Amino acid sequence: MKRFVIIGATSSIAEHCARLWVAKAPIDLTLVARNAVHTRSIADDLKVRSPDSMVTVVTGDFEDPDSIRRLVDQILKEGDADCALIAHGSLADQSACQQDLALNARELNINGISPVLFAEAIANSMVRAGRGTLGVIGSVAGDRGRKSNYVYGSAKGMVTRYAQGLQHRLAGTGVTVTLIKPGPTRTPMNAHLVDDGPPLADVAKVAATIVSGMEKRRNVVYAPRRWSVIMMIIRHLPRFIFNRMDI
């Protein structure tokens, strides 16, 4: 039975990925999150969907480096992970982050530093085991800084650069790192965007793209895939054009 770990298991995208994984075959799944009640509810649902799967819930602090180290050690003491997904994050109001430096710092931490620390700890264990697939969720927002969400985007930009460096470090090993870049998706985190901007992607379809990309051991997965073209255009827009855009 393969061992899966999801960090940030209460994320709607992560939950839908878990559903797909347990539907394929019974697995040993550890759900890691900050909200124990919500995580146990997800675990109960997954057990109904896959009675032969083992589902464990672990909760803890995602913002303190020592706590992250203890969490990862606790998760992996029963065995190495074949597959891990790091999916947690938040999306605070950009204007609020501009005024509240404490909020700004928290958003940079939970969206950038925290995923990186989890990824480093898990990747090191996979290297020792000589195998594993590690998926790290960034965002299309990390591809180019935009006035509408540059605090969130800068954190996800850090995740992008980190994942690229980790991929370079682990090239030729038995460990694969997949950088995942979802576009705006219909999740609770993005509920305020429903009536503001382009239609949001279906979370189940986004999860299916992620699961498929990780299984194929891809380096980068845009979900939906059209965002790879959209962001390529945005990245290469001349600054004099980009600065006129309200995005």
In tens, the pLDDT along 86-124 reads 999 999 999 999 999 999 999 999 999 999 999 999 999
Q: What's the confidence (pLDDT) of residue 183?
A: 95
Residue 20 pLDDT greater than 80, yes or no: yes
The pTM of the whole model exceeds 0.75: yes
Residues 6+ apart with CB under 8 A from 60: 32, 34, 67, 68, 70, 71, 74
- The angle subtended at Cα 139 by Cα 150 and Cα 130, nearest 5°, is 130
Residue of higher predicted confidence among 187 and 189: 187
Yes or no: say if 178 and 217 are a contact pair by the CB < 8 Å rule: yes
Output the average pLDDT for the chain: 95
Tell me the pLDDT band of 69, cut-offs 50, 70 and 90: very high
Condensed to tens digits (0 to 9), the pLDDT of residues 70-85 reads: 999 999 998 999 999 9
CB neighbours of 131 closer than 8 A, spacing ≥ 6? 80, 82, 174, 175
Question: What is the pLDDT, as a whole number, of residue 38?
Answer: 97
Average the pLDDT over 147-160 and give the result.
97
Res. 190 pLDDT band, cuts 50 70 90: low
Residue 148's pLDDT is 94
Indicate if the pLDDT at residue 213 is higher than 80: yes
104, 97 in Cβ contact below 8 A? yes
pLDDT reading at 195 higher than 60: no
Average pLDDT over residues 217-222: 97
Of the pLDDT bands very low, low, confident and very high (cuts 50, 70, 90), residue 191 is low
- Report the pLDDT value the prediction gives residue 187, as an integer from 0 to 100: 81
d(CA 178, CA 79): 21
Question: What pLDDT does residue 153 have?
Answer: 98
Check: CB of residue 75 under 8 Å from CB of residue 30.
yes
- As a whole number of angstroms, the distance between CA 202 and CA 191 comes to 12
How far apart are alpha carbons 96 and 106 in whole angstroms? 12
pLDDT at position 186 is 86
Name which residue leads in pLDDT, 186 or 239. Answer: 239
Instruction: Return the amino acid letter for 21.
Output: W
The class level of CATH for 3-242 reads alpha beta
The domains of the chain are located at: 3-242
- In angstroms, the Cα distances linking 97 to 37, 104, 138, 233 are 29, 5, 19, 27
* φ, ψ of residue 213 in degrees (nearest 5): -65, -40
Residues 6+ apart with CB under 8 A from 176: 132, 133, 134, 170, 214, 217
Q: Strand ranges (DSSP E) for 42-143?
A: 54-59, 83-86, 132-137
**What number is the average pLDDT over the span 225-234?**
97
Instruction: Tell me what pLDDT residue 199 has.
Output: 81
Does residue 196 carry a pLDDT above 70?
no
Q: State residue 134's pLDDT score.
A: 98
